[in-house]
Structure 1
Amino acid sequence: MAVPRRLAAAAAALALSLTVAACGGTSGTSDASSTSDGDGTAAKHGAAPASGYPVKIENCGTTQVFDKAPSRVVVMNGASVAEVSTLLALGLGDRITANQQSYGMSEVPGRAEAIKKLPTGGVRQNDAFGIPRESMIGLRPDLVLSTTSYGFDAKNGFATRDELKNVGARSYISPQGCHDENSRLTIEDSYRLLRDMGRIFHVPGRAERIIAASRRHIDAVAAKVKGRKKPNVMMLFTNMTMGGNDFSAVVAKGIYNDILGRAGATNVFENASRTSFADLSKEKVAATAVDALVVIAYQDPNPAAYAENLFKEFPQWPAAKNHTYVTLSDSIYLSPDNDLAVERLARKLHPEAF
C-alpha cells in the first residue's frame, strides 16, 4: 500500500487537520449564490443588512464581532470541504474571494463542480498546504475560515488570528477545531457550523431550515433500520498514510461513528485507538471480521477500485465474500450533508429496510 510522496504529505496535513479539527446536510440544500434568507430578510452583496448586527461569535477563546455580512471570504484548505460546502449550502458562494478546499467529488449533485468554479485567489499553497501569510494579507479578506487552529499557526507560515485582526479580518475555527483532537465531533457540530455561518451572514432562517430537513431525513432513515442487526464496519481513507503501520488511516472515533450509528452499523475498530484514527498492522486487520467496508475518498477518482483491492487482499472478510462496501466523500465528515451519508450507508447495509 505504497503512497505517493505528495499524497503522503497531504495525508500528514489531513491527519493534523483531523486531529486538531473540528460543526449536516440534506439533499434539498441549495448551492445558489443568492443571499436572500427566504423569510423576508435580505442581505445585499457588500452591504450591511438593515438589522441583525452587530453579531458576536465566541470562537476558540476569541470574540469575533461582525458589523455586517462578510463579502471577501477566504476558505483555508485543512483537508476539508466542510466550510466551503456550508457556505454553498447557505447560498453564499458569491461571498468567497478565495477557496482552497476540494475533495474532487461529492454526494451532492453538482457540489464538486460548484466548488471547482469558485475563485482560488491565484494563490500558490506553501509546504503546509495552505495560504502563506503574505498572500493571505494580499487577498484583503474580511473573514478567514479554517477547519482547525492549524490554519492560523505561524509555524506553518500562515497569518495568525491577531495578524488578520490587525488588517480588519475576522477569523473562524470550525467546531472542535480549537484543540488537538476531534474524536468528540458529532452531527450536532455540523449543525453548529451551519448556525454560526447563518448568524454571521444574517441568514439564520436558511440555516435552521437545512438543519430541520437534515434531522427529519436522518430520523426517518434511523427508524427504518432500528432493531436490525448491526454489521461491523471498517472505515478508512483511500491511499493515505497517517502512521507507521500498513493501515494508519482507519477511522476509530468521531462524527463518523455518530453517522454509522444512525445508519444501523458499528465501527469494528472504534476501540482500537483513543484518538480519531487507528494505526493498524496488516495482521490486526486480517484477523478482524469485517462485515462491510466504508471507503472515504479524498482526491481519489476511483475509491471503488481501492475497495476491490482490499477484498482481494483479505478474501476471508465477510465483506469480501458478500462484496459489501460503500464509497463516500464529503458527507461523512463535518458537513451540511451528513444525512446523505446516513441514507447511503443504511441502504447498502440494510437493503431489506428500504
Structure 2
Amino acid sequence: MRRFAALGLVLLTTACGATVAQEQGGVTTTVTNCGQEVSYRTPTRVVTNDTGITELMFALGLADRVVGYVVGPGQHRDVETSPWKADFDRVPKLAERISKEVVQGAGADLVFAGWNYGFSESTGLTPDSLRDLGVATYQLTEACRNGVGKQRGIMPPLEALYTDLRNLGRIFGVSDRAERLVAEYQAQVARAAELMAGRPRPRVFLYDSGLDQPFTSGRNAAPQDIIGHAGGDNIFGDLDDSWTTVGWEAVVARDPEVVLINDYADGDADTPQQKEAFLRSYPPLAGVTAVREGRFFALPYAALVEGPRNPAAIEALARYLAGA
C-alpha cells in the first residue's frame, strides 16, 4: 500500500498522526483501518452501503463526495426519518444490495462498507476483490474482524465511531469538523450518563430479529455502549463478537428487565409492535421480567449500528430507563 518512495512524494505528519503525502494531482493520506495502514488518494466518487455508514459521510458534510448509496428494503424508515434526509434526497440510491456491478456502474473510487455491512465472501464483494478492480475501500471499524473466525470487533463501539470519524476526517481533509463532532458526541454521552447516575443498572436484551433463535448484540456492536452508557447492562456483553445469534434458553436464563427492539423490517416482522407482540406471545419468555412487566423500548436501526445517531440513542434510552 505504501509506494511513496517510487512516486517521489513529499511527506508531512499531521498533529493527529496521519501521514499526508502531497503529489502532483492530489493528496495521499495514510490511516490505520482494521489494524492495517492504508493509503488513500482523496476520494471524489464514494459508494456507501447501509444507513449508518452513509450518515457518517453526511454528518461530516461529505454528501458531495458520495456518488450513490445502497440500503436494504428494511431500512426505508431510517432514510425517511434521518436527520440527513435532505442529503439522502440529493444523493442517488443505487440499489438495495451492493455488488461489483453497482460499484463499477457508479464509477466509484472508494467503497465505504463493512463485513456483513456489504462485504461478504459469499457474494464475492470484498476489499480484495474491489482492489483487483482498482477501487479503494474503507472498512467500518465496528465490523473489523478480530482474527477469530468471522467474529467482528476490535475496540469498544464508541471508540470505533470516533476512530472512523477521525480517519474519514483525515482522508477527506475535514479533520476540524470530525473533531468537533467527536467533542459534541462525547459531551452528549456524558450528559446522558448523568440521567441514571446512582440508580440500579437494569439488565437489557437487544432484540434485533429471529424467531427460532434471536439475533442480538455482543460486546463489540454499537448496542453494547448504547446500553452501557445509558445506565444498563447488555445481557450478552460477555460475548466477544459484534452482532451474533444466541439461543432463547440463554435469554431466559439471563432474565432481562428491559428489551431494546431494533426497529427495522427483517422478514419476520416489519415493525417494533410486531416484534413486541411475538416476544409477548412466545411461551418460553412468559416468565422473563421484561416481558412480564411490559418493558419494551425501540430505537431505529440506524441508531443501533455504528453511526452518528449513537449518542442520541444513548440519551433516548437513558431517559426511558430513568423513567421506567
TM-score, normalising length from structure 2? Answer: 0.76
2:279 is the alignment partner of 1:310: yes
1:201-251 CA distance string (max 9 Å, x none): 21111111111111111101112312210111111203x37xxxx223032
- Name the SS for the 1:56 alignment partner: strand
Cross-structure match for 2:6:
none
Q: Against the structure 1 CA distance between its residues 264 and 160, is the aligned structure 2 distance closer, same or farther, given a 3 Å change threshold?
A: closer
Equivalences for residues 160-175 of structure 1 within 5 A: 160-161=127-128, 163-164=130-131, 167=134, 169-175=135-141
Deviation at 1:85, TM superposition (A): 0.9
In 1, Cα distance between the equivalents of 2:166 and 2:206?
A: 28
Q: Against the structure 1 CA distance between its residues 99 and 290, is the aligned structure 2 distance closer, same or farther, given a 3 Å change threshold?
A: same
Cross-structure match for 2:17:
none
Deviation at 1:107, TM superposition (A): 10
- Name the SS for the 1:104 alignment partner: helix
Cross-structure match for 2:19:
none
Contact kept in structure 2, 1:226 and 1:264, CA below 8 Å: yes
Q: Give the residue type in structure 1 aligned to 2:31.
A: I
Equivalences for residues 228-247 of structure 1 within 5 A: 228-238=199-209, 240=210, 246-247=212-213
CA RMSD between the two structures: 3.1
Cross-structure match for 1:96:
66
Deviation at 1:112, TM superposition (A): 7.3
Q: Against the structure 1 CA distance between its residues 107 and 324, is the aligned structure 2 distance closer, same or farther, given a 3 Å change threshold?
A: farther
Cross-structure match for 1:299:
265
The structure, 1 or 2, with the larger RCO (C-alpha pairs under 8 Å, 6+ apart) is: 1
1:129-158 CA distance string (max 9 Å, x none): 421x34422322121111138856665233
Q: Give the residue type in structure 2 aligned to 1:71.
A: T
Q: Against the structure 1 CA distance between its residues 264 and 107, is the aligned structure 2 distance closer, same or farther, given a 3 Å change threshold?
A: farther
Q: Give the residue type in structure 2 aligned to 1:87.
A: M
- Aligned to 1:290, which of 256, 267, 279? 256
Greater share of strand: 2
- Name the SS for the 2:111 alignment partner: strand
Cross-structure match for 2:236:
269
2:189 is the alignment partner of 1:218: yes
Percent identity (aligned): 25
In 1, Cα distance between the equivalents of 2:102 and 2:305?
A: 28
TM-score, normalising length from structure 1? Answer: 0.70
Deviation at 1:262, TM superposition (A): 0.8
Cross-structure match for 1:56:
30
1:236-290 CA distance string (max 9 Å, x none): 203x37xxxx22303232232222111110122334x443355444444344422
Q: Against the structure 1 CA distance between its residues 110 and 275, is the aligned structure 2 distance closer, same or farther, given a 3 Å change threshold?
A: closer
In 2, Cα distance between the equivalents of 1:337 and 1:143?
A: 23
Structure 2, unaligned stretches of length 5 or more? 1-21
- Name the SS for the 2:141 alignment partner: coil
Deviation at 1:335, TM superposition (A): 1.0
Structure 1, unaligned stretches of length 5 or more? 1-47
- Name the SS for the 1:194 alignment partner: helix
